[in-house]
């Protein structure tokens, strides 16, 4: 019985570690995506386009 509990505890520990690793990797990928030069350039282009549209078409 004791060995079964140890085995289950070890499995649970591994699951928790795997979940933690997945969260860390996901967070790193999200940060990379946010800091990507392409994402930053796209956001700046959208802001510039929006600004140009509002300048050419003032609110009516």
Q: Give the integer Cα–Cα distance in Å for 29 and 60.
A: 43
Closest CA to 33 of 18, 48, 43: 43
**Domain extent listing, the chain:** 2-56
pLDDT tens digits, one per residue of 13-59:
999 999 999 999 999 999 988 888 888 898 899 999 999 988 887 76
Instruction: Evaluate whether 15 touches 7 at the Cβ level (below 8 Å).
Output: no
Q: What is the pLDDT of residue 55?
A: 85
């Amino acid at each position: 019985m004791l060995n079964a509990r140890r085995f289950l505890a070890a499995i649970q520990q591994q699951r928790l570690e795997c979940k933690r690793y997945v969260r860390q990797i996901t967070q790193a990928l999200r940060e990379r995506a946010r800091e990507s030069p392409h994402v930053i350039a796209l956001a700046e282009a959208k802001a510039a386009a929006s600004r140009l549209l509002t300048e050419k078409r003032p609110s009516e």
